[in-house]
Structure 1
Amino acid sequence: MGELLPTWQANNLIKGLTDYLKTTFALSDPKAQGAISDFLTHPDKGMFKGPYVRLRLPFEPAVEGWEDFLDFYDAKFPPYGHQAKAFERLTSKNSTDGQFRRPEATLV
Structure 2
Amino acid sequence: MAEPTFPSLLAEETRDSITEYLSTTFALADDQARSAFDEFLRNPETGIFRGPYLKLRTPYQQVASSWTSPLDWLPKGFIPFQHQAQSFDRLSTRGRAAEPTIVTTGTGSGKTESFLIPLLDHAMRSVAKGEKGIKAIILYPMNALVTDQARRLANYLHDDPKLSNVTAGVYIGGTGRQKVPTRNQLVDNRDVLRQNPPDILLTNYKMLDLLLLRKDDSPLWENASTTLQYLVLDEFHTYDGAQGTDVAMLIRRLARIFHAGRVLA
- Which protein has the bigger strand share? 2
Q: TM-score, normalised by structure 1?
A: 0.46
Max Rg structure: 2
Structure ranking higher on relative contact order (CA contacts 8 Å, 6+ apart): 2
